[in-house]
């Protein structure tokens, strides 16, 4: 089945540690996104990529980094510079092209907790 | 200023009744799209319905319809014949042509369906 997978489902981070969240899609979508969701709040955009080897900062990029070496993969690294990383992280993808009708489809999410 | 406002933190509805979830938005762009997503307790974001700013008809998808009032900048989601499985968080989101693929989300409304 076509879809978006995220791993792990739960991730624990120690102080000063970098951790990487995985996002893979087999929908042949050009565009991919990372969002952060805090309890009781909406989603905020961290980074997005419209094509392989290119990505742009979203609204809350500080303390995060990404890479887009393959069309199907868009990993997110939460660095030690992110002082409050506890949140639910959602990855999404869309066909690309930037038309307003274009729908983003989401993965199941990764819950990151700080030890 | 908030681009997407969902004024109802929580709503209750009796099973089989209809319910309206409110969403107002703020944009100066003439070309934009409005989306509704459902987030069950599992966390995954499920796309429900889309309305384009130039669409003349209100969008409908099964039991979901969108009450789009462009002059008032509102895009309320109507769920008919509520089911217990409709209990979830519901998010309104907007994409503006000026900002490409970026989606801006509201804070969400929790819906509880009572039997």
A50 contacts B100? CB cut-off 8 A = yes
Helix/strand/coil (H/E/C) assignment for every residue in A48-104: EEEECCEEEECCCCCCEEECCCECCECCEEECCCCCCCCEEEEEEEECCCCCCCCCC
B53 contacts A90? CB cut-off 8 A = no
Q: How far is B115 from chain A (nearest CA, A)?
A: 25
Peptide bond into A8 cis (omega under 30): yes
pLDDT band at A83 (very low <50, low <70, confident <90, very high): confident
Task: Tell me the C-alpha distance between B93 and B112, whole Å.
Answer: 21
Task: Tell me the C-alpha distance between A7 and A25, whole Å.
Answer: 12
**For residue B77, which of B105, B40, B35 has the smallest C-alpha distance?**
B35
What confidence tens digit (pLDDT) does each residue in B41-58 have? 999 999 999 999 999 899
pLDDT band at A48 (very low <50, low <70, confident <90, very high): very high
Q: Tell me which chain A residue has its CA closest to the CA of residue B91.
A: A42
Cβ–Cβ < 8 Å for A58, A45: yes
Task: Tell me the C-alpha distance between A107 and A85, whole Å.
Answer: 19
Q: Is the pLDDT of residue B93 over 90?
A: yes
A100 contacts B95? CB cut-off 8 A = yes
The number of beta carbons lying within 10 Å of the beta carbon of residue A45 is 21
What pLDDT sits at residue B7? 95
B95 contacts A102? CB cut-off 8 A = yes
State mean pLDDT over A42-65: 94
Q: Is the pLDDT of residue A99 over 80?
A: no
Count of A-B CB contacts under 8 Å: 68
Residue A50: list chain B partners with CB under 8 A.
100-101
Sequence-distant (6+) residues with CB within 8 A of A25 are A3, A4, A5, A32, A72, A74, A91, A93, A107
Q: Is the pLDDT of residue A102 over 90?
A: no
A88 contacts B102? CB cut-off 8 A = no
Average pLDDT over all residues of chain A: 92
What pLDDT sits at residue A1? 63
Among the partner residues B31, B44, B91, nearest to A100 by beta-carbon distance: B31
What pLDDT sits at residue A90? 97
Residue B55: list chain A partners with CB under 8 A.
none
Q: How far is B101 from chain A (nearest CA, A)?
A: 5
- Percent with pLDDT over 90 in chain A: 77
């Amino acid at each position: 089945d076509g879809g978006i997978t995220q791993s792990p489902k739960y991730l624990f981070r120690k102080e000063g540690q970098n951790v990487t969240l995985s996002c893979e899609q087999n929908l042949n979508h050009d565009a991919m996104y990372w969002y952060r969701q805090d309890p009781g709040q909406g989603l905020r955009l961290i980074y997005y990529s419209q094509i392989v080897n290119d990505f742009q900062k979203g609204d809350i990029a500080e303390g995060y980094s990404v890479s887009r070496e393959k069309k199907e993969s868009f990993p997110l690294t939460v660095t030690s510079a992110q002082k409050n990383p506890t949140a639910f992280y959602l990855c999404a993808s869309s066909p690309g092209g930037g038309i307003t009708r274009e729908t983003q489809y989401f993965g199941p999410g990764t819950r990151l907790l700080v030890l | 200023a908030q681009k997407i406002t969902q004024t109802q933190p929580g709503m209750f509805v009796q099973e089989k009744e209809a319910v309206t979830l409110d969403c107002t938005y703020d944009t100066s762009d003439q070309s934009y799209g409005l989306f509704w997503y459902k987030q069950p307790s599992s966390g995954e974001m499920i796309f429900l319905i889309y309305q384009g700013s130039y669409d003349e008809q209100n969008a409908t998808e099964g039991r979901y319809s969108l009450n789009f009032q462009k002059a008032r900048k509102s895009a309320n989601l109507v769920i008919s014949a509520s089911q217990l499985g409709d209990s979830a968080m519901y998010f309104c989101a907007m994409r503006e042509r000026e900002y490409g693929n970026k989606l801006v989300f509201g804070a969400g409304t929790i819906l509880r369906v009572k039997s």
